[in-house]
């Protein structure tokens, strides 16, 4: 069963496989998935690009909404957070005021949860924009997506909106410092676990030079019926290829 959309700005905290105790921030409209990817594996289902094109600034949570919810949670918090994470049901950098929100969240974190770090789970589609890279650099961490090693796989697997260019994504990721790449691999007719993609993918990762790659497979239902979860041995095979190429990686089973 696919996940329902988030109904508020703050959710969790969740015990994340990758981030420990993480408080999620969804700064996107609550009624619609807002993303410029249409990934075959998305846990929130398919993306309606036509619907997104009709969105207005006022459809997004305001800075005031975000401040009230985040302060309210952190003020009553009885757990110690590892991370405050921009995630939610889409791509957080698409919020028209993303840069202002980064500064707001960092400020609230400093006052209410100074031991935690701010980070983002991003699909990387906007990273070709230098202004967005500047906003991302003000977070403590950046976990950025790349599942494909070439344009053909990128378009088939991630279904990018027409204005998203594969080469621009890779070039933008290479400009970010201290970036972690997250990659979801699946097999089957619609999957990216192919020899061709892995060969090209390793070359793209070398170009980006991330601090680490996070490798994982399916954990929830998907809208596509043509992809399947990798077994642990298959994820390990990818990790061995990475090690041979001098790339640090972690497998999340």
Complete DSSP assignment for 129-144: SHHHHHHHHTSS-EEE
Residue 102, both tokens: 């980064």
Give the pLDDT band of residue 241 (cuts 50, 70, 90): very high
Task: Flag whether pLDDT at 11 surpasses 90.
Answer: yes
Q: 193-223 pLDDT, tens per residue?
A: 999 999 999 999 999 999 999 999 998 899 9
Domains and CATH numbers, the chain: 10-252 (3.20.20.70)
Lowest mean per-residue pLDDT among 14-18, 25-29, 88-92, 141-145? 14-18
Ordered strands of the 179-184 beta sheet: 10-16, 20-25, 83-86, 117-122, 142-145, 179-184, 212-216, 249-252
DSSP secondary structure code for residue 34 in this structure:
B
Q: Are 157 and 200 within 8 A, CB to CB?
A: no
Q: Are 199 and 149 within 8 A, CB to CB?
A: yes
Q: 111-165 pLDDT, tens per residue?
A: 999 999 999 999 999 999 999 999 999 999 999 999 999 999 999 999 999 999 9
Q: Which pLDDT does position 230 carry in this prediction? A: 97
Mean per-residue pLDDT of the chain: 94
Q: Are 131 and 99 within 8 A, CB to CB?
A: yes
Mean pLDDT of 57-68: 95
């Amino acid at each position: 069963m696919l996940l329902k959309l988030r109904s508020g700005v703050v959710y969790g905290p969740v015990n994340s496989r990758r981030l420990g105790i993480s408080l999620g921030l969804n700064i996107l409209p609550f009624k619609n998935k807002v993303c410029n990817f249409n990934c075959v594996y998305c846990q929130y289902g398919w993306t309606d690009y036509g619907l997104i094109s009709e969105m207005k600034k006022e459809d997004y949570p305001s800075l005031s909404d975000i401040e009230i919810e985040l302060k309210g949670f952190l003020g009553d918090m009885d757990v110690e957070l590892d991370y405050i994470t921009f995630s939610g049901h889409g791509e957080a950098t698409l919020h028209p005021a993303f840069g202002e929100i980064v500064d707001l969240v960092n400020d609230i974190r400093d006052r209410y949860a100074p031991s935690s770090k701010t980070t983002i789970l991003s699909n990387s589609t906007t990273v070709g924009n230098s202004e967005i890279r500047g906003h991302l650099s003000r977070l403590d961490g950046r976990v950025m997506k790349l599942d494909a090693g070439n344009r053909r796989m990128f378009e088939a697997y991630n279904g990018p909106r027409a204005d998203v260019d594969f080469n621009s994504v890779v070039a933008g990721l290479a400009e970010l410092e201290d970036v972690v790449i997250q990659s979801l691999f699946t097999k089957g007719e619609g999957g990216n676990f192919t020899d061709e993609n892995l060969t090209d993918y390793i070359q793209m990762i070398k170009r980006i030079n991330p601090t680490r790659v996070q490798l994982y497979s399916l954990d929830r239902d998907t809208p596509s019926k043509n992809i399947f979860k990798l077994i642990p041995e298959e994820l390990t095979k990818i990790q061995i290829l990475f090690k041979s190429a001098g790339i640090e990686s972690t497998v999340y089973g």
